[in-house]
Structure 1
């Protein structure tokens, strides 16, 4: 038997074991067997190149600090890098076979929105979202996704990366909190200045005008004074309304519940919506900062429900049990798509106010069926 045939058999066995370092030497004859040997050597080089390329990709895949997932066309995780396993607290290989929606805790809308955008021809999409660890911890992430197709694959897979933006979110919340605190301080100062200075001076002018009206003989001059008195009455009323919106005295003197009732009965809203305000249990005394923050949250919800949601029925319920203050806000307005709302400054401030007290906000909204805010605030160290 030709020794070269035995060497071909040996080399093929090594190739099957992943060893591609040795080539078979050609004989001086360059016959048919040498032609086979040449093909075997070329095969070894190709297999070696593929293996190096795959190992190189695997090393990069697992060295990236961001979470990286490869999803099949049904949204099932075909592979995940070590960062994804570590940050989401899964064992090696445990993520493979899980639907990505399970990590998002969605109803399918998460994957559908990604596929929808990719099918539009957007090569790379990016959006903010949340993934949940195996322990149930919510991790805010920046998601990027694109189609990825290898030569031998008929269907493209989705290459999805998720960058943990927890610290970025904390920084944003600190900035928003600073803005909120500055605004509240300025509102309180402005309300005090308007009430103690300008409103009092206008009231004095009104008193002076009223005191001389009866002594004026000229009908024309008396008419002008009466009109001036009426104008001052309107201005003083407007000033008091401005002071009320800036910082209602009821909030500081009688608490959150009475301030909310006063706001709902305010002339701006009393003819626009029907309010249902309930208190299912007695509430403890709240710190001034917490009372102001919750008042602003309710104020923001009502304003948006009426001005943007065209709601005509708003329900506000307060309850307190086992150290947890709960506020349920519901309207029958137009509703909105939470994932496409953009998270405007108003909503960011609402979330920041609640998070700063270690609270939680659960927003539920359906197009055509209204909006619901479920707020929970632990009060064990708040009062």
Structure 2
């Protein structure tokens, strides 16, 4: 096949040569005939773009080749991208600039494909064009967008401009947490959906609050309560599934049942419960920099989660990321919960996750892990590789 250059050469009789007689084309494509000449395949490959005069005389050849290749992939309709939308970005930018963001938001809500994933990027660009206007009245924009999916995309876009909210961050955080309760958990970790977008929104906004010390206008206790409510399912272990191949009246064969309010063991790091646990520990870390202590509610949550799901990959990774915090700022707590340091080959654990994530220079924590795992003290290099394989 000829290369697809930006300026394809003009093929004429001098380049393609005289066409073969129809009988020769038919014989050349028969079951017992030899493979057609490479030049014939070049004519076939270029046929969608060659002018008709050049193709004169090759019609029988092209008809025969089309019988061999009835579905030509070059002429088949391509599936639409998941970023495709019925509305045009330029039209919405003009509407927002002339009449304000509420007009554009109302147009998004009435689109024939309203809520499609492509509107996540569109709202990102709309908000980015005028962050101040889009964040001036968060409840009004959410009301105009109407759909929870659009609200999630909007808040995720506004997260990139945390300093643009004139009324502070408590309002968008509460709105995002409310949308999290209204949307099902993220379904596919490889294709971000509305639930993942809104989870990232409130977790990123809260990270900004913890790191900058921003004021939540007295809403911190309420927000922490909502985070603990989201993380509460992690304190309940999953029910042991029935033997493989058995079925219950409500569960198909081969699928483990999950009770209402119960989480499966294969959680992703974008699940609201996992995000809430991470946010609570990040807040505890921010508090530790001020008064050198960790909130008792956060420590109790860690104890309950460790006992219920400490051997699950995602939970172990979340706890492992904060193992230095717990080790240095809550020594009495970690002494009472040695499972934080335990490493069992083949089983995820916070210590194994911490090692796998690259522990850096922390000799005291290294020594504690080593003393709780003799194999590590005897041969750290081999133990490290073992822990890495355990976690991954």
TM norm. shorter chain > 0.5: no
| Structure number, greater radius of gyration | 1
Structure with greater proportional strand content: 1
TM-score of the pair, normalised by structure 2: 0.21
Structure with greater proportional helix content: 2
TM-score of the pair, normalised by structure 1: 0.21
